[in-house]
Amino acid sequence: MKKLFSYPDSLKKARFSYCPGCGHGIVHRLLAEVIDEFKIREKTIGIAPVGCAVFAYHYWNFDVTEAAHGRPPAVATGIKRVLPDRIVFTYQGDGDLASIGAAEILHAANRGENITVIFINNAIYGMTGGQMAPTTLIGQKTWTSPGGRKAELSGYPMKISEALGQLDGVHYIERVAVNNPENVLKAKKAIKKAFKNQIANKGFSLVEVLSMCPVGWAVTSVEALRWIEEKLIPVYPLGVIRDKSKST
């Protein structure tokens, strides 16, 4: 009998400590499946961020380190340049990647570092209690934008993937979501492509994942799925933002 579904080798047999309805667990699982499918678990080094995924090493069953807030792309650069035949990826939230680590991601992308970046955009700082992120929507109420985000005070939702997509060093950027099964399958495909690119030495690949944070958004888990569809995707449209292999 053919086995169709099993627990990924790249995940430890640990329970996720994420809140109910959170998207991190789904993305962890997708990552693990992709790493298993490429049989690269034993040559992969993951870099966990500061944020809710800071404990990713409790779940990922391969070598993992934890970088200072925003610095995973620099740490990944150090590792990958010394060990170019290993698979190196960063896993970063919107605060980590688009705010405190804006310089690091911009320059790693511009250098065309041959790494894979998984960028979780849930439009909020989850771990510290729900503050405004650079990706927070206009009018979105957070702990630090109690009256809703105002553009004149805090600027606009940052479309960092589009910004990074302008850089010649970037090979591939796609924005996906994990709010329904169809989108989850597309997300897996994108993640798979981002790792395949690295294996083939194509250069910098980033997958932005629109992910649920029901607690941070003060909605139920089911409402959070709809919130992505109705609020987040109109501002952050899904799809390929840059793909060098298509343009040549």
**Contact between 116 and other proteins per CB under 8 A:** no
Phi and psi at residue 171, to the nearest 5° = -90, -45
**Contact between 222 and other proteins per CB under 8 A:** no
Cβ nearer to other proteins, comparing 56 with 123: 56
Give the shortest CB-86-to-other proteins separation in angstroms.
Answer: 5
**Contact between 67 and other proteins per CB under 8 A:** yes
Give the separation between CA 236 and CA 248, rounded to whole angstroms. Answer: 26
Chain positions 3 to 42 lying near other proteins, rule: CB under 8 A, are 41-42
Scanning the structure block, which residue is given the tokens 């292999």? 245
Size of the site for other proteins (CB under 8 A): 36
Give the separation between CA 168 and CA 72, rounded to whole angstroms. Answer: 21
**Contact between 63 and other proteins per CB under 8 A:** yes
Q: Are 218 and 227 in contact (CB under 8 A)?
A: no
**Contact between 167 and other proteins per CB under 8 A:** no
Of 17, 20, 81, 221, the one binding other proteins (CB under 8 A) is 81
Phi and psi at residue 221, to the nearest 5° = -60, -40
Using alpha carbons, list the distances in angstroms from residue 111 to 52, 204, 216: 28, 8, 34
Structure token pair of residue 193: 């492509």
Contacts with 77 (C-beta within 8 Å, 6 or more apart), sequence order: 108, 111, 113, 115
Structure token pair of residue 130: 């729900």
**Contact between 103 and other proteins per CB under 8 A:** yes
**Contact between 83 and other proteins per CB under 8 A:** yes
**Contact between 64 and other proteins per CB under 8 A:** yes
DSSP-derived 3-state class of residue 179: coil
**Contact between 106 and other proteins per CB under 8 A:** yes
**Contact between 107 and other proteins per CB under 8 A:** yes
Give the shortest CB-21-to-other proteins separation in angstroms.
Answer: 23
Range in contact with other proteins (rule: CB under 8 A) among 15-23, 102-110, 141-149, 165-173: 102-110
**Contact between 78 and other proteins per CB under 8 A:** yes
**Contact between 117 and other proteins per CB under 8 A:** no
DSSP-derived 3-state class of residue 56: helix
Q: For Cα atoms 71, 76, 80, give the angle at the middle one, nearest 5 degrees.
A: 160
Cβ nearer to other proteins, comparing 50 with 210: 50
Residues at the site binding other proteins, with contacts judged by CB under 8 A:
41-45, 48, 54-55, 57, 60-68, 71, 74-83, 86-87, 103-104, 106-107, 111
